[in-house]
Structure 1
Amino acid sequence: MTLSDFIEADLEGLIDDWTEYARALCPKNRQHGKAQLRDSARELLIGIAADMREAQTGAQQKAKSHGEQPDLDSGFNEIGRGHATERHRQGFGIDALVAEFRALRASVLRRWQRTNRLDSTAFQEMIRFNEAVDQMVAASVRQYSLQAEHIRDLFTGVLAHDMRSPVGAILNSAHVVLRDENFSSTSVRAGVNLQHSAERLKRLIDDLFIFTRTRLGDAMPVEPTRQDFGRILLGSLDEVRAARPDAQIVAQSAGDLTGVWDAARIN
Structure 2
Amino acid sequence: MIAPRLSDFIRDNIEPILQAWENFARTVEPPALTMDDEELRDHAHLMLIAFADDLDTPQSERQRVMKSEGMAERDEQDTAAETHAEARLLAGYTVVQLVSEYRALRSSVLSLWSKEASGHSNTAMHDMTRFNEAVDQALAESVARYERLVTQSRDMFLAILGHDLRNPLGVLVTGSSFIMQASEIPPKYVLASTRMFNSAKRMSALINDLIDFTRTHLGPGIPINAKRSDVVAICTQVIDELRTYHAERQIVFHAPPSLTASVDAGRIAQMLSNLIGNAIQHGSVDTPVIVALSGSDSEVVITVSNEGPVIPANKLRSIFEPLVRVGDGGDDPIERSSLGIGLFIAREIARGHHGDVNVDSVEGKGTRFTVVISR
Coarse TM-score class (shorter-chain normalised): 0.7 to 0.9
For 1:181-214, what per-residue CA distance to the aligned partner results, in whole angstroms no more than 9, with x for missing partners? 4579998798678656645643542453354244
Asked whether the equivalents of residues 233 and 258 of structure 2 are also in contact (C-alpha less than 8 Å), the reply is no
Aligned to 1:264: 266
Aligned to 2:121: 119
Task: Tell me, in whole angstroms, the C-alpha distance in 2 between the residues paired with 1:29 and 1:119.
Answer: 37
Match of 1:173, as an amino acid? G
Instruction: For residue 113 of structure 1, report the CA deviation from its aligned partner.
Output: 0.7
For 1:66-104, what per-residue CA distance to the aligned partner results, in whole angstroms no more than 9, with x for missing partners? 443222535xx6111000001111111111111111111
For 1:52-131, what aligned pairs fall within 5 Å after superposition?
52-71=55-74, 73=76, 78-117=79-118, 118-131=120-133
For 1:201-259, what per-residue CA distance to the aligned partner results, in whole angstroms no more than 9, with x for missing partners? 43542453354244234554221223332333233334433443322333232242232
**Runs of 5+ unmatched residues, structure 1:** none
Task: Tell me, in whole angstroms, the C-alpha distance in 2 between the residues paired with 1:79 and 1:120.
Answer: 30
RMSD: 2.9
Asked whether the equivalents of residues 193 and 242 of structure 1 are also in contact (C-alpha less than 8 Å), the reply is no
Aligned to 1:225: 227
For 1:157-183, what per-residue CA distance to the aligned partner results, in whole angstroms no more than 9, with x for missing partners? 111012112210122113312432457
Match of 2:17, as an amino acid? L
Number of residues of Structure 1 aligned to a counterpart in Structure 2: 265
Match of 2:173, as an amino acid? L
TM-score, normalising length: structure 2: 0.63
Task: Tell me, in whole angstroms, the C-alpha distance in 1 between the residues paired with 2:123 and 2:136.
Answer: 20
Instruction: For residue 260 of structure 1, report the CA deviation from its aligned partner.
Output: 2.1
Asked whether the equivalents of residues 70 and 138 of structure 2 are also in contact (C-alpha less than 8 Å), the reply is no
**Runs of 5+ unmatched residues, structure 2:** 271-375
For 1:1-267, what aligned pairs fall within 5 Å after superposition?
1-27=4-30, 31-71=34-74, 73=76, 78-117=79-118, 118-182=120-184, 195=197, 198-199=200-201, 201-217=203-219, 220-266=222-268, 267=270
Task: Tell me, in whole angstroms, the C-alpha distance in 1 between the residues paired with 2:186 and 2:265.
Answer: 32
Asked whether the equivalents of residues 25 and 32 of structure 2 are also in contact (C-alpha less than 8 Å), the reply is no
| Bigger helix fraction | 1
TM-score, normalising length: structure 1: 0.86
Match of 2:254, as an amino acid? Q
1:222 match: secondary structure: coil
1:246 match: secondary structure: coil
Instruction: For residue 55 of structure 1, report the CA deviation from its aligned partner.
Output: 1.4
Task: Tell me, in whole angstroms, the C-alpha distance in 2 between the residues paired with 1:200 and 1:221.
Answer: 22
2:262 match: secondary structure: strand
Asked whether the equivalents of residues 4 and 53 of structure 1 are also in contact (C-alpha less than 8 Å), the reply is yes
Is the deviation greater in 59-68 or in 162-171? 59-68
1:25 match: secondary structure: coil
Instruction: For residue 57 of structure 1, report the CA deviation from its aligned partner.
Output: 2.2
Task: Tell me, in whole angstroms, the C-alpha distance in 1 between the residues paired with 2:107 and 2:82.
Answer: 21
Asked whether the equivalents of residues 164 and 202 of structure 1 are also in contact (C-alpha less than 8 Å), the reply is yes
- The structure-2 alpha-carbon separation of the partners of 1:210 and 1:62, relative to structure 1 and needing over 3 Å to count, comes to closer
Instruction: For residue 106 of structure 1, report the CA deviation from its aligned partner.
Output: 1.3
Task: Tell me, in whole angstroms, the C-alpha distance in 2 between the residues paired with 1:52 and 1:237.
Answer: 66
| Bigger strand fraction | 2
